Amino acid sequence: MLPKKQLSGAQKRKKRKHDDQLAESQKGALHKFFVSSSTVDVNEVQGQEYDHGQQEHDHNLNVEDEVNEDGPMDDRVRQENLHPSSDHENSNGAELDGSGLPIYDPRTWDNLDNSKRDILIEKGPVRELNLVFPKDAIGRHFSYAYYSRDLTNGESVDRKWLVYCKHGDKVYCFCCKLFKSNKSKKLREHESSVEHLTNMNTWNEVRLRLSKNRTIDDDMQREISNEKERWRQVLVRIVSVVKFLAKHNLAFRGSNEKLYQDNNGNFLDTVEMIAEFDPVMQEHIRRIKSKEIHNHYLGHNIQNELISLLASAVKNYILKIKLDLNVADVRGQGYDNGSNMKGHTKDVQNHLLQINPKTLYMPCACHSLNLIFCDMTKSCRQAISFFGNII
């Protein structure tokens, strides 16, 4: 009888690694057979979701391409899962990346710096409500039902990591988009993978440390936060000075644009007066005099910019009160044939259609007629020779 064949060292290490991963994925599996009275947070059941049986009956979706399968809205979609927190509502769109796009847009996540990435991790993903998901050629589309998942023990779990991007009609895994470049093929396989659970744990740990100021660079983060608040307070006082001078129709500038010098104008004189009593402006002027900062926002450029912004806000408010135009009442839109106007992906036509789907686009009749005459003229030799110098 031949002796039993022994595995090589590499095969033993591979087998041991597989057994360790299997044991790690089975941690807490017993809890799946007990029903809790409330909806379970997805962060509390990360260790339970590695399901080898694949006994659940909701749809398996491709993260990028197969997400458009038609799924009905049922009781599994909890109302609380669809509403973002108040922090998201207040901050959504307030933080922008270098290209002017909000940091909550998944298209910007590959190019975020560390500070904006920390803000995104701390705030978490944002879900937009009342979206009309576009359908593909065979009528499939994304559904709010995919934000929830039913476990085998009857518990409903919110997929907080699932993010839908209306630009391009795609969905992303929040934590894996930030901490990993490659995405798994299907939601079911993806959320049960060791890679997803590892990235989910990384997200939760960093978010917890940021919320409690326990990161490695917590002192720097605290200093940045204090500096942002200080600049907000400085700008509030500068805007108040601009409003006061504009309200009383007073000149801003003098023959000199330096602090604490003669004839430096009403704006700088008012700033000097505020600094006598206000510690925020006092500290700001101290930094300017000691040359600790170069951008002090007291020059004529910021004055003109603030005047323009305030005037624009007042003008828009007057027009809104006087005209009270409602975009929902528009039934058509027409422009010339410029791509920045008629474009159906991200231009003016698309912006109006997102607000009101009834604003059907038609090209400008006069401009189209001019184009027709140009083409007709170019097709006739006599016209080309006659109008040659013009054309």
pLDDT at 378 over 70: yes
What's the whole-number mean pLDDT along residues 175-187?
66
For residue 127, name the pLDDT band (cuts at 50, 70, 90). Answer: confident
pLDDT at 348: 75
For residue 281, name the pLDDT band (cuts at 50, 70, 90). Answer: very high
Share of the chain above pLDDT 90, in %: 10
pLDDT at 236: 93
- List C-alpha distances in Å: 158 to 74, 80, 249, 304: 14, 9, 57, 49
> What is the identity of the amino acid at 93?
G
Alpha-carbon distance 341 to 113, whole Å?
32
pLDDT at 45: 41
Alpha-carbon distance 237 to 279, whole Å?
12
pTM of the model: 0.37
Cβ neighbours of residue 233 closer than 8 Å, sequence gap 6 or more? 280
Which run of H or E residues covers position 173? strand 170-173
Alpha-carbon distance 84 to 126, whole Å?
6
CB atoms under 10 Å from CB of 122, counted, come to 16
Nearest Cα residue to 297 out of 273, 308, 311, 281: 281
Strand 332-335 and strand 170-173: pairing?
A: unpaired
pLDDT at 56: 39
- CA angle centred on 114, ends 112 and 117, rounded to 5°: 60
What's the whole-number mean pLDDT along residues 155-169?
85
pLDDT at 5: 76
How crowded is the C-beta side of 38, counted as CA atoms within 13 Å? 5
* Residue pLDDT, tens place only, 27-37: 766 666 565 55
For residue 240, name the pLDDT band (cuts at 50, 70, 90). Answer: very high
Cβ neighbours of residue 196 closer than 8 Å, sequence gap 6 or more? 173, 175, 176, 184, 190
Distance of CA 252 to the CA centre of its chain: 38
Phi-psi bin for 214: left (phi > 0), alpha (psi -120 to 50), beta? alpha
> What is the identity of the amino acid at 77?
V
pLDDT at 215: 65
Which run of H or E residues covers position 158? strand 156-158
Q: Which of 174-188, 279-293, 332-346, 348-362 has the highest mean pLDDT?
A: 279-293
Alpha-carbon distance 87 to 90, whole Å?
5
Tokens of residue 222, six digits: 């605290």
- CA angle centred on 13, ends 12 and 15, rounded to 5°: 65
pLDDT at 365: 78
Can you list the alpha helix ranges (DSSP code H) found in the chain? 9-25, 86-91, 114-123, 174-179, 187-191, 194-211, 218-247, 265-275, 279-289, 300-323, 339-342, 348-355, 365-378, 381-386
* Residue pLDDT, tens place only, 192-211: 888 888 888 888 888 887 77
**Phi, psi dihedral angles at 271 (to 5 degrees):** -60, -40
Alpha-carbon distance 195 to 63, whole Å?
15
Among the listed ranges 57-71, 127-141, 319-333, which one has the minimum average pLDDT value?
57-71
For residue 172, name the pLDDT band (cuts at 50, 70, 90). Answer: confident
For residue 239, name the pLDDT band (cuts at 50, 70, 90). Answer: very high
What's the whole-number mean pLDDT along residues 321-334?
79
Q: What is the CA radius of gyration of the chain?
A: 30
Tokens of residue 120, six digits: 């995104």
Share of the chain above pLDDT 70, in %: 73
Furthest-apart CA pair in the chain: how many Å?
109
Tokens of residue 342, six digits: 């008629």
What's the whole-number mean pLDDT along residues 227-246?
92
Q: Confirm if 163 and 171 have CB atoms less than 8 A apart.
A: yes
What's the whole-number mean pLDDT along residues 110-125?
82
What's the whole-number mean pLDDT along residues 248-270?
88
Higher-pLDDT residue of 144, 52? 144
pLDDT at 261 over 60: yes
For residue 390, name the pLDDT band (cuts at 50, 70, 90). Answer: low
What's the whole-number mean pLDDT along residues 274-300?
88
pLDDT at 180: 66
Distance of CA 260 to the CA centre of its chain: 44
Alpha-carbon distance 218 to 210, whole Å?
8
Higher-pLDDT residue of 233, 155? 233
For residue 169, name the pLDDT band (cuts at 50, 70, 90). Answer: confident
- Where along the chain do its domains lie? 38-211, 222-321, 327-386
Q: What is the mean pLDDT of the chain?
A: 75
> What is the identity of the amino acid at 138?
I
